[in-house]
């Protein structure tokens, strides 16, 4: 594997439940991330969105801009309107030298609502998959023409959550659409991340590495919790601290080239960011080295 290690600021400050880590400054996050050994950061809500300001902030800490999440409503707007809405984000990533764009369809999604259970998440019919696939392929072709590969992020509480959803998305889209494999979201949804890695290795262009506490995930499904309740109860942790077999994942991605981004959506008051990010990066380095070998 030819990889670089980045981090997502959600380890320090949550984007969907912003009271988690609200008091942690961006400077603290970046200072700690660099000291731990990360080479780059994905964007979060505390980052400036003007290229010069963002470059200055990251440059002070010798960190690169890995990518940034974009919330799409393709099923509402269509491809042309969504491309117009996407342009400022795309141009920011281009200016920062990022070569992937994290993209997720959030029409009807429940992942950002603490009070809505995962059982209420939207589910697509066959005609919806065809429409989403065509629109998504058009958007991905446009971002590729601008030099940025679209990396679709399957996510709990959205239209692309389960293994069947991921399969349907990949079948409905052209090769222009890359897949972001999020090990934690895959496992929480009941999928095998290693099986997904084997099946879609050629289309995986970005990797979010987080682990799952299987007992918490099982309780979340039994109780039909909301996504954010599961986060608060500790469903996610860093690689090596949960139930996912990352050795199998990285063995399946021996030819992967790109960023491996550490994530752990936890309450930073209960899970110290420095402790967990240090543990996660140490484990990732070891796992990738073994997988590459």
The average pLDDT across 161-170 equals: 98
Could you tell me if 155 and 104 are in contact, meaning their C-beta atoms sit under 8 angstroms apart?
Answer: yes
pLDDT of amino acid 289: 87
At residue 262, does pLDDT exceed 80?
A: yes
* Cα atoms found within 13 Å of the Cα of residue 50, Cβ hemisphere only: 3
Q: Has this prediction a pTM greater than 0.95?
A: yes
Percentage above 90 pLDDT, the chain: 97
At residue 122, does pLDDT exceed 70?
A: yes
- pLDDT bin (cut points 50, 70, 90) of residue 290 is confident
pLDDT of amino acid 292: 56
CB atoms within 10 A of CB 66: 27
Q: How far apart are CA 203 and CA 266, in angstroms?
A: 29
The average pLDDT across 221-238 equals: 98
Strands 236-237 and 211-212: antiparallel
The average pLDDT across 286-290 equals: 89
Could you tell me if 111 and 156 are in contact, meaning their C-beta atoms sit under 8 angstroms apart?
Answer: yes
Could you tell me if 244 and 187 are in contact, meaning their C-beta atoms sit under 8 angstroms apart?
Answer: yes
Q: What are phi and psi of 254, to 5 degrees?
A: -60, -25
What rounded mean pLDDT belongs to the chain?
A: 97
Q: What are the chain's domains? A: 2-292 (3.20.20.150)
At residue 1, does pLDDT exceed 80?
A: no
Q: How far apart are the first and last CA of the chain?
A: 8
pLDDT of amino acid 144: 98
- Helix-strand-coil split of the chain, %, nearest 5: 45, 15, 35
- The runs of H, that is alpha helices, within the chain are 26-36, 51-60, 74-77, 79-95, 126-145, 163-172, 183-188, 193-200, 214-223, 227-232, 246-252, 273-292
Determine the 3-state secondary structure of 117 from DSSP.
strand
């Amino acid at each position: 594997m030819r990889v670089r290690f980045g981090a997502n600021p959600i380890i320090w400050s949550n984007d969907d439940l912003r009271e988690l880590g609200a008091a942690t400054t961006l400077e603290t996050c970046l200072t700690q991330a660099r000291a731990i050994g990360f080479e780059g950061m994905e964007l979060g809500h505390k980052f400036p969105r003007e290229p010069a300001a963002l470059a200055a902030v990251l440059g002070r800490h010798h960190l690169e801009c890995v990518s940034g999440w974009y919330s799409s409503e393709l099923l509402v707007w269509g491809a042309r309107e969504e491309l117009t809405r996407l342009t400022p984000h795309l141009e920011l990533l281009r200016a920062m030298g990022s070569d992937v764009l994290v993209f997720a369809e959030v029409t009807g999604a429940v992942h950002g609502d603490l009070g809505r259970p995962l059982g209420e998440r939207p589910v697509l019919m066959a005609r919806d998959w065809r429409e989403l696939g065509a629109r998504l392929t058009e958007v991905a072709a446009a971002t590729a023409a601008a030099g940025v590969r679209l990396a679709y992020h399957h996510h709990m509480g959205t239209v692309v959550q389960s293994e069947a959803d991921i399969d349907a998305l990949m079948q409905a889209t052209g090769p222009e659409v890359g897949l972001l494999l999020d090990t934690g979201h895959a496992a929480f949804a009941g999928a095998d991340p290693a099986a997904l890695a084997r099946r879609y290795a050629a289309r995986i262009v970005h990797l979010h590495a987080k682990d799952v506490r299987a007992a918490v995930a099982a309780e979340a499904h039994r109780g039909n919790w909301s996504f954010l309740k599961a986060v608060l109860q500790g469903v996610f942790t860093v690689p090596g601290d949960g139930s996912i077999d990352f050795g199998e994942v990285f063995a399946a991605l021996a030819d992967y080239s790109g960023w491996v981004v550490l994530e752990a959506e936890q309450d930073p008051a209960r899970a110290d960011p420095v402790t967990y990010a240090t543990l996660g990066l140490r484990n990732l380095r070891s796992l990738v080295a073994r997988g590459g070998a």
